[in-house]
Amino acid sequence: MRPEELALSDLQVVLGGRRVVDVMTLTLPTGSLVALVGPNGAGKTSLLRAIVGLAGYSGRVAFGGRDLAAVGGRERARLIAYLPQGHEAHWPLPARDIVALGRFPHGATDPLRLSPDDQGMVRRAMEQTDTTAFADRPVTMLSGGERARVALARVFAVGAPLILADEPTAALDPRHQIDVMRALRGRAEEGALVVAVTHDIGLAARFAHRVVLLNQGRIAASGSPGEALTPEVMRTTFGVELFRADHQGVPVLVPWS
């Protein structure tokens, strides 16, 4: 195993007596954006939660050559930045302060007393997610889409080499869906491994370096978007026919019927 890989070995997650991730072995290199796709209930969220340490599992999860089960909580929080589904806000903190929470694993405990390096990470994260314009607004006063982008900015502010994002484009308008996927791909091309759950086949085909398609807790297909999202795979996994075209050298995939 190369030190820059995320390696899952015989990974299993059981919830309520049901095996939601079923004996999965998978290796993903850093420097790539991986789209995790599949039908509802395929095990996508459970897989992310197992990697980040929020769901019990058997098997092994290793990153950078290290078994993550042996990594302490604060160090794990520096290695992995996790964006879960949902973006509820209960305290009227300024959006900038929410983003600054991403620096907590690095020792920044007060958003009002950030080091110059921490300030730079927060500023860049907000620029990448187009949230600078409402940095001073209470997060409780933002729209659902704006809160989603603030939550992603917090993840970016961590500066982690492994980013796990569960449906990061949900609730976003088309422009910001494209911006977020472009930002995730940019982080990957800077050297991070980004694993993003998405139900948008078109965005996965356009932006992902690799697609991993899950079905009933198992890997049904894995490879480049063109290799993994074939008409046959879409038919057998999702029960839909696929329209495919090419635009500017990129596959355009649309579930059609």
Q: Dihedral through CA 202, CA 204, CA 206, CA 212, nearest 10? A: -130
Residues constituting the chain: 257
Burial 131-152 (b: 16+ CB within 10 A, else e): beebbebebeebeebbbbbbbb
CATH code of the domain made up of 5-90+158-255: 3.40.50.300
Q: How far, in Å, CA of 49 to CA of 34, rounded?
A: 16
pLDDT of 1 reads 42
**Lookup: tokens for 225:** 């978007």
pLDDT tens track for 48-59: 999 999 999 999
Burial 119-129 (b: 16+ CB within 10 A, else e): eebbbebbebb
pLDDT of 115 reads 94
Per domain, the residue ranges of the chain are: 5-90+158-255
pLDDT tens track for 111-162: 888 999 999 999 999 999 999 999 999 999 999 889 999 999 999 999 999 9
Q: Do the beta carbons of residue 228 and residue 26 sit within 8 Å? A: no
* Sign of torsion over alpha carbons 88, 90, 95, 98: negative
pLDDT of 89 reads 76
Closest to 45 (Cα-Cα) out of 69, 21, 10: 21
Spans of the chain below 50 pLDDT: 1-3
